[in-house]
Amino acid sequence: MPILYASGIVGAGKSEAISKTKALTQAALHKELYTVSLGKIFADAGKKLEIPESRLNYIPNEMQIALRTGVMSQCAIELLNYKPDDLVVIDGPLTLVDSVGITQETFNMSEFKILSDPPVKRPIDRRFISIIDDPRKVIARNKGTAYPTDPADILNWTVQEVEKAKQFSDYYVEKRALAVPMEYSSQLLLKTIIDPEAPIAYFAYPITSAKNRPDAKEKINNFRNKLNLCVPFVNPIELSDRSTDSVAEMTYTKYRDLHWFVRQAQYVIAYYPEEGLPSTGVPAELKEGELLAKINILIHPRKERHPFGISNILQFSNEDEFFDAIKSSRTDEKFKDLSSFLEDGSDRFRYEGLLEGIPI
């Protein structure tokens, strides 16, 4: 049974991402994507104990351990209801935080081991994926709750959640956990479930300078839609307003893009739809990709010998050149690194038969 674990702090949009993935799964595969919600199991257990959900973090440690073990046991029981070919997402945060920003884990590794013990013997065999989002959107979703309202606290909580997912993933599935922005996450979630060995790409482009250029934005969207047929990719977070960024937020953004998005990918694909779109982020991401031996790809109207001081890079003048190179990658040695973007035994894009005509 393909099982993926979707984590994410409260308010990151995880439920919305899973809902979109369920719709995409139905459209592409005509199959149901089942969800086991640890949060719901946890809340139901609290109700039986007559403990309000808002107070579950504050019960004595011994009771918390017993409650968490019971939640994982109930999750194991629910997994027994599914058939071997059913697609399942286990949904639940790995960390919680109080109003002053103190973070604690919701489950530990020994409690997760319950899912691998008899009678279940159905471990999480895909990936741990952490859904993340703009901290101000998280705060807006959590309005009226006791969760933090300071973006710096939200960012710290996000880091704790992603790092916890990495620990669990390394231990259980021996696959790198992914930090995935909520927007456009459904395509990656579905591909990870049905095609776990597919390489991951990071899609970089000049966000700020293209924001007020409608033609450039349209080209980026069109490129993204076609790239969706080729590879699971992580799309950067586009913030609606960066004018109020604190030092903490700017530091976090750089850390996130370089140490999560680039590191977790096998490809860094940078796309400039036209000239005259300056960017400080994209060159930094390509340089980080070179340092980490990623396959760097640059689509830019002007080819240079060593763009941004990078020597090991595949260059194309436009998107048509890039997608044509993918099609010829099995016969043209220059483009052999792009052959994983093709369907096995075919010259179609890897997901062309699955997703063509379905909105991203």
Q: Helix (H, G, I), strand (E, B), or coil: what is residue 307?
A: helix
The confidence score (pLDDT) of residue 328 equals 96
CATH number, domain with residue 297: 3.40.50
- Number of structural domains (the chain) is 2
What are the angstrom distances between the C-alpha of 255 and each of 121, 251, 271, 281, 282? 37, 6, 21, 11, 14
Residue 360: band (very low, low, confident or very high) from pLDDT cuts 50, 70, 90? confident
Considering only CA atoms, which of 61, 4, 72, 64 is closest in space to residue 39? 72
Q: Average the pLDDT over 224-235 and give the result.
A: 96
The confidence score (pLDDT) of residue 129 equals 95
Q: Average the pLDDT over 173-183 and give the result.
A: 87
Looking at the structure, tell me whether residues 175 and 281 fall in a common domain.
no
The confidence score (pLDDT) of residue 290 equals 95
**Integer Cα distance of 248 and 208 in angstroms:** 19
**pTM for the structure as a whole:** 0.90
Looking at the structure, tell me whether residues 162 and 120 fall in a common domain.
yes
Residue 217 above 60 pLDDT?
Answer: yes
The confidence score (pLDDT) of residue 152 equals 87
Looking at the structure, tell me whether residues 316 and 342 fall in a common domain.
yes
Domain hosting residue 313, numbered range? 198-360
Percent of the chain at pLDDT > 90 equals 54
Looking at the structure, tell me whether residues 274 and 167 fall in a common domain.
no
Backbone angles phi, psi at 6, to 5 degrees: -105, 115
**Integer Cα distance of 18 and 15 in angstroms:** 5
Out of 56-60, 303-307, 311-315, 319-323, pick the least confident. 56-60
The confidence score (pLDDT) of residue 254 equals 79
Residues listed for the chain: 360
- 166, 197, 228 - which closes a domain: 197
Residue 245: band (very low, low, confident or very high) from pLDDT cuts 50, 70, 90? low
Looking at the structure, tell me whether residues 70 and 219 fall in a common domain.
no
Looking at the structure, tell me whether residues 193 and 288 fall in a common domain.
no
CATH number, domain with residue 113: 3.40.50.300
Looking at the structure, tell me whether residues 264 and 278 fall in a common domain.
yes
